Amino acid sequence: MWRAIAALLAVIGSDAAPLQATSSGVKPFKIDLTGEASRMLELVKATRLPNKPVYPTVGASAGIDLDVLKQLQREWIHGFSWKGEQKELNKYHHFTTDLEGLNIHFIHERSRDPNAIPLLLLHGWPGSFLEFVPLIESLTQQSKTSNGDPVSFNIVIPSLPGFAFSTAPKENWTIADTARIFNSLMTDLLGYEKFAVHGTDWGSGVGYSMYEQFNSTVRALHAPFLPFFPLTEEQLEAANVTLSPMEQFQVQRGDDWYATGNGYFIEQSTKPNTIGLALEDNPVGQLAWIGEKMIEWSDPRAGTPPSVLNHQEILRSTALYFLTKSFTSSAFIYFQNPGGFRSDYVQPPTDAPLLFSSFKYNVGFWPAQMVRRVGNLVYYQSHEFGGHFPGIDNPPALLTDIREIGRFWA
C-alpha cells in the first residue's frame, strides 16, 4: 500500500519547577498573537461556503463534509476565543533558543522529583506542541510503572523547524538535521546527559533518527508510529507474521488510507508551495485541510472520553498554524524528506529500549515482529481506542505507556 508512495518519494528525492532563564542561549517566551487573531476572526466570518454540496450523497468519502466544515466555522465565530486559549497556553514555561541559525521554540516543564527522567516529546504534521498539552501535568507528577517503580519526567516539547514558533529551516534540511539540533538542545543547552524520546508522525522520524545517531544520550524511545512503510497483509504473511482480528482491521485501515487518504502526502511531497500559498491567508481553507485529517485519522469516537479531540481542539490547532504563518513551511517537511519513510527494516546501532503503542485507528500499523526489527523492543501494547493523535485521542493510554519507560531506564 505504502510502496507506491515510497517509489514516488524515491523519484523526487503546574507543580513543575521552571527552567532558569539564565541558561546560556535560552530566552523565556510568551505567546502573544491577539492582534492577528482579530483579523483571523474577520476572515473566518467573511468566508462564504456553498449552501449545499455539489454531490450530496458522497458525504465525507470525498473529503471533509460540507456540513461539518460549516459547523466548525460557526463554532469558530461564536464559541472559540484565541485570547482564552493563549492565556491557558501561557501557563506553561515557553522558551526559545538559537540552534544552527534557527530560532527554536520549546516548552520545558520540570518535575519536583530529583530522579525525574528527561523526556523529549516530538509532534508531526498536522500536529504541534498542542498534542502534548494534556499530558504535561501528569507526566511531571510522580506516578508508578506497571511493576510499581516510581516514575516522573522533566518534559521538553519543541516545535519542529518550520512549525508554530520555530523558524523555517534552510533548503534541504532533513529530519536527521532536526535530530542533531534537538540532541544539542537536550544536552548542550538543557544539560541532560541522557534522555528519553517520544515521537509520532514526523516526530517519530526525528525521534528514530536520534535513537540511531545518538546512542549514548538517547537511552529510550517510545513511539506509536514508525518511519518505516507498513507492510501489506501479503508481505506480513510472507514474513510469517500471524495477525489477530484487530490487527487485520488495522492493516485494512492502512490500505484504506493508501486508497483514499494519501492525496495530501503526494501534494505536499511534490508541490508544497501550491497548497501552501493557496491557503496561507485562508483560515477556513486551512481548517478544511487540517480538520479533515484530524477527524479522519482519529478514532470515530473522538471527543468522547477518554478522547479530548473535539472541535475546539481542531480549531485551536488550525488557529495556531494560521496565526504563526507556518502552514506553508510545515508542509515542506514532506518535500525536504523524500527518504523520510524507509522501506528496509534495519537494526540500529543501539541497545536502548524501544517501546511501542499501537492504536486501533492509526493510519499505519506495525506488528510487534516488525517493530522488533528496528530496535531493542522491550514493550508493545495495543489499544482498542485511539488513532493517529493519541496525546489528545487517548491521553490516559499514552500516559500509561510512556510511564513504562521507567521500568527500563538505567
Q: Which three cell numbers stand for residue 382?
A: 495495543
Please name the helix (run of DSSP H) or strand (run of DSSP E) that holds residue 102, with its range, or none. strand 102-110
**What is the C-alpha separation between 144 and 137, in angstroms, rounded?**
15
Count Cβ atoms below 10 Å from residue 300 Cβ, excluding itself: 10
**What is the C-alpha separation between 54 and 45, in angstroms, rounded?**
22
Q: Which three cell numbers stand for residue 368?
A: 510487534
388 included as an active-site residue: yes
**What is the C-alpha separation between 94 and 108, in angstroms, rounded?**
7
**What is the C-alpha separation between 367 and 237, in angstroms, rounded?**
12
Catalytic pick among 334, 379, 383, 393: 334
Three-state DSSP class for residue 144 = strand
Sign of CA dihedral 30, 35, 39, 45: positive
Catalytic pick among 93, 123, 198, 388: 388
Strand partners, 105: 96
Three-state DSSP class for residue 109 = strand
Which runs of E-coded beta strand occur in 252-371?
A: 353-359
**What is the C-alpha separation between 307 and 305, in angstroms, rounded?**
5
Q: Which three cell numbers stand for residue 236?
A: 506480513
334 included as an active-site residue: yes
**What is the C-alpha separation between 156 and 342, in angstroms, rounded?**
27
**What is the C-alpha separation between 223 and 121, in angstroms, rounded?**
10
**What is the C-alpha separation between 351 and 211, in angstroms, rounded?**
10
**What is the C-alpha separation between 41 and 250, in angstroms, rounded?**
39
Only one residue has cell 516529546, namely 121
- Compute and round to an integer the Cα radius of gyration of the chain: 20
Catalytic pick among 177, 201, 299, 393: 201
**What is the C-alpha separation between 109 and 2, in angstroms, rounded?**
37
Nearest residue to 335 (alpha-carbon basis) of 259, 260, 257, 265: 265
Residues with catalytic function: 201, 334, 388
